[in-house]
Amino acid sequence: MEKFLQELAKDKPVRFTAQQLCDFTSNYSTRLGSGGFGDVYRGQFPNGVKIAVKVLKKGSEGAAGEQFMAEVGTIGKTYHINLVRLYGFCYDQYMSALVYEFMENGSLDKYLFGEKQMIGWEKLHEIAVGTAKGIAYLHEECQQRIIHYDIKPGNVLLDENFFPKVADFGLAKLCNRDSTHVSVIGCRGTPGYWAPEFSLRNHPITYKCDVYSFGMVLFEIVGRRKNTVSSPSESLDWFPKHVWEKYEKGELTEMIVDCGIEEKDREKAERMSMVALWCAQDSPEARPPMSVVVKMMEGGVEIKPPPKPFRYLFSVGMNAVKPTAGSSFSSSEESDSYWYKETTPVMTKYEIQIASS
């Protein structure tokens, strides 16, 4: 760990002492929230800049240590307007903590699923585009590709102006661009946002798993409802499936109207729905890279008719999709070439597998 921190000192994050963090947070007087790895507290630097301090639990040393290195080693080396900024960290024999910029309006999920849905649809579209830009930076613009593994509304934070920033890099993994194979032990992410390849033993897990998760987020923005399915009966009313059925029947506009989206926003909502259908394709190779997702959502490129998604999910049953240990991913650029050719409905690897079974 000390060797890791010495290397890190060459980059941006500042190493704070435990006493400094105690002073910054007024002895941890205001807790913002808690999670599996620790609690988050509100604080402030002496110059008045507001911060959020995540104090990692010491009980689970291995897991907490891995999360600490994942967050500091990835987001600590990057800077983008759509990524939450890591100011610094604290690490000693008594505590591990991460110091982030403070995001005034919290996470996107409470505005999508809470009682007070105070964000207008135009702003939601801006949030979706900004989030896509943050993920595109991680995938395509960093010196080493960063796979987030846990894209969901709860990890999209909003500042005082509701400007979005991707957060929580505790599961993130760096991937050298010239590598062909990197092992991943166990599953990563949140149920409801997992890409279907996590359910297949020894199937490559690429950075396109983030694209799938982002597609699920888009469905939730359009419908303002969660996509989680906990029972077979619920799968009949699974919103992403409903979007595809309406699109297939040429009734996407009617569905947008049913979602309560005003006429002035319907064109963007339809584009977002079609982008979500592309992102949620079973085959990773069929999913567009995030830079193309941004262009499609902004209207910069034509959105071609998407093939039918969710074939694999419904062939095995919605509640049977669970990740398996020992997965791996490839950092090859081959799948991106799909999106710079003519996009036509072809039989993907997943469809071949389903047909043969």
d(CA 76, CA 210): 20
188 falls in which pLDDT band (50, 70, 90)? low
89: enclosing H helix or E strand: strand 86-91
- 92-118 tens-digit pLDDT: 888 889 999 999 999 999 999 876 668
196 falls in which pLDDT band (50, 70, 90)? confident
- 220-239 tens-digit pLDDT: 999 998 886 654 445 667 99
- What does CATH list as the number for 109-356? 1.10.510.10
Residue 295 in marked binding region: no
Please report, for the chain, the start and end positions of each structural domain, with discontinuous segments joined by +.
2-101, 109-356
Q: 205 exposed, middle or buried (CB, 10 Å; 0-12, 13-18, 19+)? A: buried
Yes or no: say if 171 and 116 are a contact pair by the CB < 8 Å rule: no
For the CA atoms of 235, 315, 279, 195, the dihedral, rounded to the nearest 10 degrees, stands at 90
d(CA 243, CA 52): 38
d(CA 38, CA 68): 11
Point out the residues that are catalytic: 150
| Mean pLDDT, rounded, for 240-255 | 95
290: enclosing H helix or E strand: helix 290-298
Q: Can you give the pLDDT at residue 5?
A: 52
Q: Which CATH superfamily is domain 2-101 in?
A: Phosphorylase Kinase; domain 1 (3.30.200.20)
181 falls in which pLDDT band (50, 70, 90)? very low
- 148-159 tens-digit pLDDT: 999 999 999 999
Q: Can you give the pLDDT at residue 347?
A: 36
136: enclosing H helix or E strand: helix 121-140
Q: Is a pLDDT exceeding 50 seen at residue 269? A: yes
Residues 6 or more apart whose Cβ sits within 8 Å of residue 259: 222, 223, 224, 269
Report which residue type is found at 269.
Answer: A
Q: Can you give the pLDDT at residue 56?
A: 86
Q: Can you give the pLDDT at residue 57?
A: 79
β-pair type (156-158, 173-175): unpaired
